[in-house]
Structure 1
Amino acid sequence: MDRDVKALAVLLAAAGVAHAAKPAVFEAMVPRPLPRKRELVYASGAAEVACAAMLAHPSTRRWGGYASTVLLAGVFPANVQMTVSAMRSSRAPGWYRAGTIARLPLQLPLVRTALKAARAA
């Protein structure tokens, strides 16, 4: 398995486990209009773990790459919400605000890696 794909699988697995371990942290990222935030956090965490598992196995890597691409696009609004909330908060430190902004374009290399995994499988 390509090093970048392995790193993406590890990242997705860790994020998925974190969703289950600390759901309240992720609930704040769910865009305001969406209901049932806790359930969405658990579902997205499970999807991250499933994508990681599919990326890790050669026979499912193609589907894992495509599923990861869809997942990363689907959770992007949560990343935007996190940035909006940080910018509106008077309590958010500057480093945190900067981090939420920097995180947004970093989604693109993750999507590229997922697509690379799908196409190379």
Structure 2
Amino acid sequence: MSRSERSPLLLAGLLATAGVAHFVSPRQFDALVPRSLPGSPRTWTRASGVAELALAAGLALPRTRRTAALAAAAFFVGVFPANVKMAVDWRHRPTPQKAAALGRLPLQVPLVLWARGVARNAEGRS
């Protein structure tokens, strides 16, 4: 299996793991939901978990890979406010936790680029 074939499956695995985590340990994700969103934080936690699982499934299938990869890139942009909220909320925590929260912010860029790259590679194979 080549690197370009592994890449979408690794991204799918990352999203699937995150999606499952939203259901296994929802409380930690509830705390990241911006207060400005309507409804219950748990609803948003579940919805984002479902979205991550759906994106993972779409990435795993060559037929839906391009669309799922573009949707994943948009998803990574869309969840950025939650990462900002985490960084703000954790600014007074011990240094390792504060560093982890701040480290999530620039991590969104390579995730978006990875998803776009998967979409580009899927285009060439269609």
Q: What's the TM-score once normalised by structure 1's chain length?
A: 0.92
Amino acid at match of 2:99: A
Q: Distance in 2 between matches of 1:2 and 1:80?
A: 32
Distance of 1:63 and 1:77 partners within structure 2: 23
TM-score (norm 2): 0.88
What is the aligned counterpart of 1:40 among 40, 44, 66?
A: 44
5+ unaligned residues in a row in structure 2: which ranges? Answer: none
Q: Secondary structure at the match of 1:31?
A: coil
1:55 equivalent in alignment to 2:56:
no
Structure 1: stretches of 5+ with no match in the other structure = none
Percent of matched pairs sharing the same residue: 49
Q: Quote the residue 2:21 is aligned against.
A: 18
Q: 2:33 is matched with which residue? A: 30
Aligned residues: 118
Q: Match of 1:8?
A: 11
Task: Write out the 4+ residue segments of structure 1 that deviate beyond 6 Å after TM superposition.
Answer: none
Distance 1:3 1:99 in 2: 27
How many Å apart are 1:4 and its aligned residue?
Answer: 3.0
1:6 shift after superposition:
2.2
- CA drift of 1:34 comes to 1.5
Matches of 2:42 and 2:19, distance apart in 1: 13
